[in-house]
């Protein structure tokens, strides 16, 4: 009997020991949450305000500032000007002596519309040259629906800018932004009158800077556009590109399109360059452009290999204009311009923009690479 009890007792003890071993070998369970607790935790994390700056989806304040300073421009070619234009066209018409002046058909009076930005309280307005270049009858309509006849103060086809004047005072203005400081990815608004739809605002981001799209048919044209994906259409030309604070960043000028309407990208003249041209047009009636006197091209990997350098961004000097500012200063063909006044220069449009807003007689300092060595050359800019 005692032996049986001993065996039972030993069995119980052994079972307990086995169970204890299994217990200690099992992984220790971690704390868990209920589905409701989990959902609350995730919700709290999602709804936490990020520490970085939030995307400004509400542009009402910027639009409210910008719209009153943007005007609608109606451009009309008078009958007399249209007749004169037809006569000029017919000078090269070999059939006019046989069949009359209008044998090939005379163009009707040209009409168009666009936008403009008020730049002074006493009535100066900036727009694109292509909005007004064909017209001699201009009417400006303000945001409050008042209309004024406008006169042309000055135009510059090489930058596609023009300044008009109306007889008005106490007009609303926009502060200027620093277009040099604007960065790719920043929000912008395009304000104008597309398709004669007045006071239209669209939003997008800056998608590139210093863009050349070859729309100015001139060897001396300056193109260093701010590229955006804000919708711009015919009628927006000459209107305002503003930043999220409602400051003037550029003058809307062109779109990339195969249809004539917006297809994804639009282009604006940076205000840092436009302001210099505007000042000249008001003061002199023309743009007093400074020239450096060089023929240039963009650096790339192929040209770098040809020259035996490791510089793939910059401006290559292919030749010099005889008697120009660069030649006088000592710049040589095959020099590579990498900086101007300490600012990095990566492309031809960047250099053109910088020179385009400099003044005649101003001294700039070029940083160039010549035969693998870097040096600085001061250049006194000349008028073209």
pLDDT digits (tens, 9 = 90+) for 229-275: 999 999 999 999 999 999 999 999 988 777 777 778 899 999 999 99
Please report which confidence band the pLDDT of residue 4 belongs to, taking 50, 70 and 90 as the band edges: very low
Q: What does the mean pLDDT of the chain come to?
A: 84
From residue 110, give the alpha-carbon distance in Å to each of 58, 76, 82, 131, 232: 40, 6, 8, 11, 22
Q: What is the bridge-based pairing of β-strands 70-76 and 137-141?
A: antiparallel
Q: 291, 367, 382, 313: which is closest to 335 by C-alpha?
A: 367
Task: Check 130, 229, 280, 347 and give the catalytic one.
Answer: 130
CB 76 within 8 A of CB 137: yes
CB 211 within 8 A of CB 224: yes
Q: Which residue has the higher pLDDT, 170 or 15?
A: 170
Question: Is 6 an annotated catalytic residue?
Answer: no
Bridge partner residues of 115 (DSSP): 72
Please report which confidence band the pLDDT of residue 9 belongs to, taking 50, 70 and 90 as the band edges: very low
Q: 225, 221, 222: which is closest to 237 by C-alpha?
A: 225
Please report which confidence band the pLDDT of residue 345 belongs to, taking 50, 70 and 90 as the band edges: very high
pLDDT of residue 206: 96
Dihedral (CA of 291, 297, 300, 304) sign: negative
> Cα Rg for the chain, rounded, in angstroms?
34
Question: Is 130 an annotated catalytic residue?
Answer: yes
Task: Check 160, 229, 243, 335 and give the catalytic one.
Answer: 160
From residue 286, give the alpha-carbon distance in Å to each of 152, 282, 365: 11, 8, 26
Question: Is 160 an annotated catalytic residue?
Answer: yes
Angle at the Cα of 83 from the Cα atoms of 81 and 89, rounded to 5 degrees: 105
Task: Check 74, 75, 237, 266 and give the catalytic one.
Answer: 237
Task: Round to whole Å and give the CA distance between 325 and 200.
Answer: 45
């Amino acid at each position: 009997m005692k032996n049986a009890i001993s065996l039972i007792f030993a069995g119980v003890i052994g079972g307990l020991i086995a169970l204890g071993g299994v217990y200690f070998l099992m992984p220790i369970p971690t704390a868990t949450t209920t589905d409701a607790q989990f959902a609350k935790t995730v919700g709290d994390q999602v709804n936490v305000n990020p520490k970085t700056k939030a995307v400004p989806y509400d542009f009402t304040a910027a639009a409210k500032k910008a719209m009153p300073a943007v005007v609608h421009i109606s451009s009309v070619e008078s009958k007399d000007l249209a007749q004169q234009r037809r006569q000029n066209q017919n000078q090269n018409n070999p059939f006019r002596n046989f069949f009359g002046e209008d044998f090939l058909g005379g163009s009707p009076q040209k009409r168009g519309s666009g936008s403009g930005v008020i730049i002074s309280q006493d009535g100066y307005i900036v727009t694109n040259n292509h909005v007004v270049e064909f017209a001699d009858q201009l009417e400006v309509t303000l945001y409050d629906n008042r209309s004024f006849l406008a006169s042309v103060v000055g135009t510059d086809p090489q930058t596609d800018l023009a300044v008009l004047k109306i007889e008005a005072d106490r007009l609303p203005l926009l502060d200027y932004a620093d277009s040099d400081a604007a960065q790719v990815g920043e929000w912008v608004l395009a304000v104008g009158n597309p398709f004669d739809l007045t006071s239209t605002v669209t939003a997008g981001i800056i998608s590139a800077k210093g863009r050349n799209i070859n729309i100015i048919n001139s060897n001396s044209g300056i193109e260093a556009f701010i590229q955006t994906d804000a919708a711009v259409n015919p009628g927006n030309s000459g209107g305002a590109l503003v930043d999220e604070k409602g400051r003037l960043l550029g003058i809307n000028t062109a779109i990339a399109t195969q249809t004539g309407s917006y297809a994804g990208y639009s282009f604006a003249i940076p205000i840092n360059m436009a302001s210099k041209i505007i000042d000249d047009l008001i003061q002199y009636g023309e743009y007093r452009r400074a020239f450096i006197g060089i023929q240039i091209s963009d650096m790339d990997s192929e040209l770098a290999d040809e020259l035996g350098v490791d510089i793939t961004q910059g401006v290559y000097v292919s030749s010099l204009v005889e008697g120009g500012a660069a030649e006088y200063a000592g710049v040589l063909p095959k020099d590579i311009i990498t900086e101007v006044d300490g600012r990095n220069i990566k492309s031809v449009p960047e250099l053109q923009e910088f020179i385009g807003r400099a003044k005649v007689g101003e001294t700039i300092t070029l940083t160039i690479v010549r035969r693998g060595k870097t040096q600085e050359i001061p250049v006194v800019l000349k008028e073209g």
